[in-house]
A and B are shown apart, each in its own frame.
Chain A
Amino acid sequence: MNALLVVLAVLVVALAAALVTLLVRRNRRPRRLPVNRGARRVLVAFSGRLDSTVVDAAIRIARADDAVLVPAYLLVVPLRYAEDSPLRDEVEIAMPLLEAVEHAALRAGVPVDARIEKGRTLTHALKRLWEVERFDRIIAPAPTNGHGGFTEKELAWVLTHAPAETVVLKPMPTAA
């Protein structure tokens, strides 16, 4: 009887140890940042360059909204090329920028879903993107010290045509 109890006790201890090991292993397994189904989506559109203060602000907004951040690099396809032409040089510029935004967002615990979108103009590219994807908030950066961001005319167009709440971010002139 005593022997049976000892065997049972050993089995229980072994089972518990196995369970703890499994749990520990499972916890150690890298997990992707959770993205809730139907989560809010915050678009930050840019081209050429992106001010780091804009990135920080976009991440803060996405985090506050518990949203997925969608950084979108807008490519302008010159008229001499077909719209479906691959644009190697432009993509070379876009890649490290998107990587940097993705990295910053993931460090801050914000899920990211980056895009490269193209059109004949920046606003054309933007329009094409929001025609096929849903966004709950759109962030349009204004130029900093005259560089980067959308022009005054483009911003006016964005504010008039955007299908969602729009935030125009204008970094402090000294921030660049």
Chain B
Amino acid sequence: MAAGVGKTYRMLQEGRQAQTEGRDVVIGYLEPHDRPETAALAEGIAVVPRLHAQHGTLELGEMDVDAVIRRSAELTLIDELAHTNAPGMRNEKRYQDIDDVLNAGIDVISTVNVQHLESLNDSIAELTDIRVRETFPDRILEEADEVVLVDLTPEALQKRMLAGKVYPKERAEVALQNFFRVEKLSALRELALREVAEDVGARRQSTVLDPLSTQAVAERVLVLVTPEPRSQRLLRRAWRSAERLGAELDALWVHKPGKPLTEEEQVSLAALRRLAIVLGAHFVEEEDGDLVGTVRRVVYERGSTYVFLGTPDERRWIEVVRGSLVSALVRDLPGIDIRVVANRADRKELRP
């Protein structure tokens, strides 16, 4: 979230835990920030010596990537993922060093503040009036096996600062007047929480979960659309329900193979895709002759809990001969709520 919340400390705790489990752990780079508690926790974990680089009058200690790779521990702890290396180092950025270490088959635990995430750069500048220059690409977060949020309330962080646990006292006072004001820290905290929540959601979506775990998490709405005008309203109705449920929304169109779309259908389909973007829904297209089977598979893959569909346009005799679509869905999707959204045009036919 921000400096001083305890990221390095948490990383070291994870390292120690791994060590007690018998894994070979080393510190590739540690930024102790002169914090005695952090230094104490690092004791007993082997450290790969730093490379010293001269930058003007400054002597900088950088991570020695080659030495880390040569040491070939099972797990390497590398602090400050967004750091920019001194000129002349193997890579310009530390996240590139970490890529190299990972490519060598070594697991890495690293730390980073939310304000360094590239996609949040503009929002952070707006919220804090500070443009963060050291950024890292979002793909790093996406590729991580696990993202752990180290959370601390703004008030608790300020207390830590006032107690001199983050920066020396004179520096802490200046920081509290600037970047570390409650409103800025609250905004950063919200961003960090949201980012991790989105990451968890994305992971859930990108992996095929077993049915038990899909049932354990939040609601997810799937709406079955077809390229025709009435699906606009159907998608909007499903969105409203998804909003009330606080659920993600997926729109599914199952295209029969070998059935080309008319010009009108192409226009309707494009309009549905645009509407899905406006609504923040995911538009899924599948080509399959088996509608019910495809819906079943998509429900399973995406962990849907609700299925919305429009009034099926079935003639009575088709319903008698082939069976009703709604009945088939109810039968094939046990434990899933199914809602049929009526066509408003039919309403005038309603008689008492």
- Give A residues with C-beta under 8 Å from B: 22, 25-26, 28-33, 35, 37-38, 68, 75, 80, 84, 86-88, 91, 95, 98-99, 102-103, 106-107, 111-118, 132-134
Question: When the two chains form the complex, which single residue of A86, A103, A114, A133 contacts B279, counting CB atoms closer than 8 Å?
Answer: A86
Q: Are B240 and A95 in contact (CB under 8 A)?
A: yes
* 3 nearest A-B residue pairs (beta carbon): A86-B280, A30-B346, A113-B229
Which residues on A sit within 8 Å (CB–CB) of B279? 86, 91
Report Cα–Cα, A68/B268, bound state, in Å. Answer: 13
| Other contacts beyond A26-B316, A32-B313, A115-B275: 8, CB < 8 A | A30-B311, A31-B346, A33-B345, A86-B278, A99-B233, A115-B232, A133-B271, A134-B267
Residues of A within 8 A of B280 (CB): 86, 88
Flag B201-235 by CB within 8 Å of A: 1 or 0 each. 00000000000000000000000000001101100
Residues of B within 8 A of A134 (CB): 267
Q: Report yes or no: B278 in contact with A80, Cβ–Cβ below 8 A.
A: no
Point out which of A103, A111, A114 has the most chain B C-beta atoms below 10 A from its C-beta: A114
A interface SS class: mixed
Check if A91 sits within 8 Å of B229, measured CB to CB.
no
Q: List 7 A-B contacts (CB under 8 A).
A: A32-B313, A32-B345, A84-B277, A86-B277, A99-B233, A112-B229, A113-B232
Q: A87-B278, A113-B229, A114-B232 are in contact. Are A32 and B316 (CB under 8 A)?
A: no
| Minimum distance in angstroms from A53 CB to a CB of chain B | 22
Among A88, A91, A133: residue with most chain B CB under 10 A: A91
Contacts of B349 in A (CB 8 A): 28, 30-31
Whether the pair B271, A115 counts as a contact (CB closer than 8 A) is yes
Task: Specify which chain A residues have a CB less than 8 angstroms from the CB of B315 in the assembled complex.
Answer: 26, 29
Looking at the assembled complex, report how far the CB atom of A115 sits from the nearest CB atom of chain B, in whole angstroms.
Answer: 6
